[in-house]
Chains A and B, each alone.
Chain A
């Protein structure tokens, strides 16, 4: 679904001065500049590797944690068609998490290590998933806004310099194309429904709008790592560029639904043809990022519980495979 990643990187992800002048590094940068893909066994600067590991694993964690808020409505979907669509969508998020964990594994980290980091609370995931899905309309709003923002972010990553990540993203983007549409379709049904349903849709938009536009990360003036990531072609557009693009696309969609975006300052600037919007409350973003959002505890707890409860199952399968191997060896 989405990574907001880059702006929460640590110091170790900045290139070390000593290697910057090295011939290897110069050759690496030349390949990146020539739009060649970097593949797993190729030489790469350690900072590049660490940046990718962190970004891809955060992205993978986001997919996995992102299964929870929507999965919350699988048993309560209002029609059988909606139920099937929602299961397929949440399943896709799981698949996307898997593609991404696989891509990260090519960089020399195991899935187990990444999961441990997530469960220990040391790895980040997109803070959008720390908001609750309180009504059915939230499932629509998540598909429309959160997946919409995600797609905006992900399409440029399809051209990322690291081959396995780029290939995973191509697959993900292809599969995600139905996610946003199904979300909008849910919102449309509600907007055209009863007064209660319209209220439900408006309430969901009210709660998801600001968190969605925060998904693009801090403003460019605050974002320290954008320049390096753009040089490495891990990132192709700045946070503010993508945010603006998202708002420009989404505002008319809200109008079509007859819903009001909860920003009194939002208006179309005739000169630039862009929508101007109000000030983002970054203190809320920081609070959620620091673990103090409405559902941070529940989300991590759900992941920990599933992992702990599944331990004996994973062990059983491994033990069975071992027995099979031993039997085959004995028979031979």
Chain B
């Protein structure tokens, strides 16, 4: 191989690496943002739950999710290589740069809305983290190995509550069914793959979303059955939270979350 050819070859490889690195960064950010936004929402409950024991339970979920967000955002910052860290990513990006799933940012509403949102995302994260355990990206695989244990408990917690609410009183059944109808429209985004999802799947970094959907769906149906709740007819709307196009709710959440860092830029806390 001539020197010129070798140089071309290297350029080609680094271009490939660059492309897949971009996708890797965006993919890791999406996971991290989804955990962060969901954890932030759960944090709003602490001290206000229906029973003291649930305050502790919801706080535990929030802590796991904030912990996942820290690992994932730190990794994203490293991939990015621009000297940012987890906090720079969490506190100095505006809504269009946040790439969480739209479902995660939906307001807490009542306990049923919170638990339905949690349940749908727990089931999704469970599939994702299980798939990531065999990722070609060893760092991501390690994060997923830790997160999958946490998520199994989250799913146990939220599905238990869904069954109690669905198969509880008339009022709780009505509230749970309403919550489900209200946010089901955000579930399409969980499995619609875009170019980022396709690239990371092709590179063996992440599981293929289409492969995960049947299992997610089966999990959901099983629990909904036990809860005597009806699976809503799918109303597809192409939400693109993972590409930075959000509902109005995210901006307000970030305003609150980022308030101190934005007011005192450069300060150490």
Answer yes or no: A and B touching, Cβ < 8 Å: yes
- Nearest opposing residue in chain B for A95, CB measure: B56
B21 at the interface (CB under 8 A from A): no
A300 at the interface (CB under 8 A from B): no
B48 at the interface (CB under 8 A from A): yes
**In the complex, A15→B199 CA distance in Å?**
77
**In the complex, A313→B164 CA distance in Å?**
9
Q: Are B52 and A91 in contact (CB under 8 A)?
A: no
Q: Are A94 and B70 in contact (CB under 8 A)?
A: no
Given the contacts A306-B47, A315-B169, A76 and B164 also touching, CB distance less than 8 Å: no
Interface size on A, residues (CB 8 A): 48
Contact residues in B for A42 (Cβ distance below 8 Å): none
Q: Are B260 and A81 in contact (CB under 8 A)?
A: no
Given the contacts A82-B269, A315-B169, A316-B164, A75 and B44 also touching, CB distance less than 8 Å: yes
Given the contacts A84-B63, A91-B60, A313 and B50 also touching, CB distance less than 8 Å: yes
Contact residues in B for A192 (Cβ distance below 8 Å): 268
Q: Within A60-118, which residues are at the interface with B (CB < 8 Å)? A: 64, 67-68, 71, 74-84, 87-88, 90-91, 94-95, 97-98, 101
Q: Are B264 and A197 in contact (CB under 8 A)?
A: yes
Contact residues in A for B168 (Cβ distance below 8 Å): 315-317, 319-320
Q: Within A152-174, which residues are at the interface with B (CB < 8 Å)? A: none
Contact residues in B for A90 (Cβ distance below 8 Å): 46-47, 59
Contact residues in B for A186 (Cβ distance below 8 Å): 269
Q: Are B47 and A68 in contact (CB under 8 A)?
A: yes
Q: Interface size for chain B: under 10, 10 to 19, 20 to 34, or 35 or more residues?
A: 35 or more
| Partner among B40, B46, B52 whose Cβ is within 8 Å of the Cβ of A97 | B52
Contact residues in B for A197 (Cβ distance below 8 Å): 264, 267
Q: Are B46 and A83 in contact (CB under 8 A)?
A: no
**In the complex, A189→B171 CA distance in Å?**
49
Q: Are B47 and A94 in contact (CB under 8 A)?
A: yes
Q: Are B70 and A84 in contact (CB under 8 A)?
A: yes
A256 at the interface (CB under 8 A from B): no
Shortest beta-carbon distance from A321 to chain B in Å? 8
Q: Are B43 and A310 in contact (CB under 8 A)?
A: no
| Partner among A78, A302, A319, A320 whose Cβ is within 8 Å of the Cβ of B269 | A78
Contact with A along B55-99 (1 / 0, CB 8 A): 110011011001101100100000000000011001100000000
Contact residues in B for A78 (Cβ distance below 8 Å): 91, 260-261, 267, 269
Shortest beta-carbon distance from A190 to chain B in Å? 8
Shortest beta-carbon distance from A23 to chain B in Å? 41
**In the complex, A80→B77 CA distance in Å?**
14
Contact with A along B227-241 (1 / 0, CB 8 A): 000000000000000
| Partner among A68, A82, A316 whose Cβ is within 8 Å of the Cβ of B172 | A316
Q: Are B52 and A94 in contact (CB under 8 A)?
A: yes
B165 at the interface (CB under 8 A from A): yes
**In the complex, A194→B265 CA distance in Å?**
11
Contact residues in B for A67 (Cβ distance below 8 Å): 46-47, 55
Contact residues in B for A312 (Cβ distance below 8 Å): 169, 171-172, 175
Q: Are B55 and A313 in contact (CB under 8 A)?
A: no
Q: Are A194 and B264 in contact (CB under 8 A)?
A: yes
B195 at the interface (CB under 8 A from A): no
Given the contacts A309-B50, A310-B111, A80 and B59 also touching, CB distance less than 8 Å: no
Q: What is B's interface to A at a CB cutoff of 8 Å?
A: 36, 40, 43-44, 46-56, 59-60, 62-63, 66-67, 69-70, 73, 86-87, 90-91, 110-111, 163-165, 167-169, 171-172, 175, 256-257, 259-261, 264, 266-269
Apart from A94-B47, A310-B51, A316-B172, list 8 A-B contacts with CB within 8 A.
A74-B43, A74-B46, A82-B269, A91-B59, A136-B269, A196-B264, A313-B111, A316-B164
Chain A to chain B contacts (Cβ below 8 Å), 6 pairs: A79-B91, A90-B59, A193-B267, A312-B175, A316-B171, A316-B172
Closest 9 A/B residue pairs (Cβ): A310-B50, A316-B168, A316-B172, A313-B50, A91-B59, A71-B47, A78-B269, A67-B47, A78-B260
Q: What is A's interface to B at a CB cutoff of 8 Å?
A: 64, 67-68, 71, 74-84, 87-88, 90-91, 94-95, 97-98, 101, 136, 186, 189-190, 192-194, 196-197, 302, 305-306, 309-317, 319-320, 323
